[in-house]
Chains A and B, each alone.
Chain A
Amino acid sequence: MNPAKSREVVLAMHDVSKNFSTGGQSTFAVRNVSLEAKRGELVMLLGPSGSGKTTILTLMAGFLRPTSGEVRLLGNDVGTCRPDDLQRFRARSMGFVFQNFLLIDALTVTENVMIVQEFCGTARKAARGKAGLLLQQLDISHLGSRFPPTLSQGEKQRVAIARALANNPEVILADEPTASLESSQAVEIIGILRRLAAEENRCVVAASHDGRLRDQADTIVSLRDGKIGNISPKA
């Protein structure tokens, strides 16, 4: 692998602020945030509830547009992308892992992993094959025909990760991926995310308030009241 490419910055925020106006009052959710995330890196956004972790993730994904500043993902200015381009970009280049898993209950595990491939026009047979492979990698291939409501929390999150990987995205954004899990499951899930960054050279950004996970991260961004308190890259 090209070493230069392997540590390339894929996600960068430059002096990003986001404020919300309600009832004539303006409230800053994020203020003057600047950070970078590289390929092969697990960046952990740590902070208490209301510190702006999720807002930063939604800015990175283009769900929110910054009030000021610039968000660049794989060289594209996310804040100025057209909605259709953003949608394609999310489908092809981003994978999402949510706190509550957000699997589609009406679809089986395999179908949940296949569905995002349909967004990119992958043929059904190929999508099924890829889903099977991912479920195997995450040790849940035996769950392929089950429906989400019958799974444990840990199993659901593994399925969600498989779904996030289905289109082979370069960036994975995880919002509180361990918040709904028991301690042992949380360690397993964060270990998987760690592996995705280190072994598959993806850029993983995870927002969490769980300080126990800081050991797994390459870079820890501490947030408080919408501002970065500290960025501490591990050696």
Chain B
Amino acid sequence: MTLYSLRTLRGQPFRLMFTIGGIALCILLMLFLASIYHGVREGSIEYIRANATDLWVLQGSQTNILRGSSILLTAHGQVLNQVEGVSAATPVVFLLSTIKKSGRTSTVYLTGYDILAGTGGPPVISEGRSVLMEGEIVLDRSFAAKFGINIGDSVMIRDCDLLVTGLSEGTNMFVIQYAFVTLSQAQALIGYPGLVSCYLVKVSRGFGVEKVSMEIKSELPGVEVYQHEEFVGNNVREMESGFLPLLYAIAVIGAIVLTSILSLILSMNVLERRKDFAVLKALGSPQRILRRIIFTQSLTLGWSGCLAAFALAGPLMGVVEFLAPEVSTRIGIGTLAAAFAAAGAMSFLSSCIAVRRLRSVYPLEVFQ
């Protein structure tokens, strides 16, 4: 019956083409959302992951750096450096800042870090160099592309002119991008030189991370101390809590549309081939064979649409990233495999809906 299933689909080439196209668009939408999710996820935590410190020390009650306002003092750093087992405690400042360039303004997640310690800076410099002194800034590559900023250009934050010395990658959080200056520059921009956002703590060899963490909490009761992986997890959850529900909602709508399109097309096929199904029933076809016809058609359409979506995904992502550089998209094999499986599941569901049409086909119809 596979031949029958495929030939009846091929018998309506335009419908076949439009159906596969519609399915491809639905899957493309889902792939696009998944790729944005992965892009944002990576962009949001790449900075944290790249700074593979042992402990993150933040103000009490703060769990992450994406949507939190941790405020600590340089005095905390002095205490941290006194704690037994702490090899180094490097301060980092985070603040939302407005960048001006040629009359245009935009907000960046400005990060001030200790250039001598080398910790807390950009994960990857893709072009140019890192900051070496005050008056310099490294921008996220997609941010720079969006605003047409090149290395050697000047941008303004508050009343301070900063020279763009490099472009970074892994620093695009979709809604906002990181920018990097020296620690003292960031503190000067805040206006309070004694403020920092958090400390990145390295534990001395031979000391247990857990033990040092407990020691810090004991010395500084008003701070939160997180081990690295825990802190990464905190930030992922924070990013997902604001972003995933929206993606899920759109993905579910896409899945419903796909399932509806497919079940309607399959139901239409059953009704148009009503005579064939009545004949097959009259000749003694078991229900499973009739169901298999619809299931084969459904999977053929679903997976053809899926493959078409895979073929279109690469070029589409390229166009999107060209038109909107801040939109970071990533598609991995896992995402493609999940899309393929989802297409199969939706095809199965659609065929279950369409199979119900068979109940209204009676073998007696062949005698009319």
Q: Which residues of A contact B (CB under 8 A)?
A: 54, 57-58, 61, 63-64, 87-92, 94, 96, 98, 102, 104-107, 111, 115-116, 118-119, 163, 175
Contacts and interface: CB of A to CB of B under 8 A. Distances in A.
Interface residues of B, number: 23
A106 B286 contact: no
A175 B285 contact: no
Nearest to B368: A54
A105 B273 CA distance: 10
Contact of B284 (A58, A87, A98): A87
Contact of A102 (B286, B289, B366): B366
Interface of B: 1, 3-4, 7-8, 11, 275-276, 279-287, 289, 362-364, 366-367
Nearest to A207: B367
A91 B283 CA distance: 6
Contacts of B362: 63
A150 to B, nearest CB: 15
B4 A92 contact: no
A116 B289 CA distance: 11
Contacts, number: 68
Query: Secondary structure at chain B's binding surface: helix, strand, loop or mixed?
Result: helix
Contacts of B281: 87
Given A91-B285, A116-B284, A118-B289, A106 B7 contact: yes
Given A106-B4, A118-B1, A91 B284 contact: yes
Given A57-B367, A63-B367, A118-B289, A90 B3 contact: no
Contact of B286 (A54, A57, A87, A89): A87
22 contacts: A54-B367, A57-B367, A58-B367, A63-B282, A63-B364, A87-B281, A89-B284, A90-B283, A91-B283, A91-B285, A91-B286, A96-B282, A96-B283, A96-B366, A104-B279, A106-B7, A115-B1, A115-B4, A116-B284, A118-B289, A119-B283, A119-B289
Contacts of B4: 104, 106-107, 111, 115
Given A96-B282, A104-B276, A58 B1 contact: no
A126 B3 CA distance: 17
B279 A111 contact: no
Contacts of A57: 367
B293 to A, nearest CB: 10
A111 B367 contact: no
Given A106-B11, A107-B3, A111-B3, A92 B284 contact: yes
A57 B285 CA distance: 19
Contact of B8 (A61, A91, A92, A106): A106
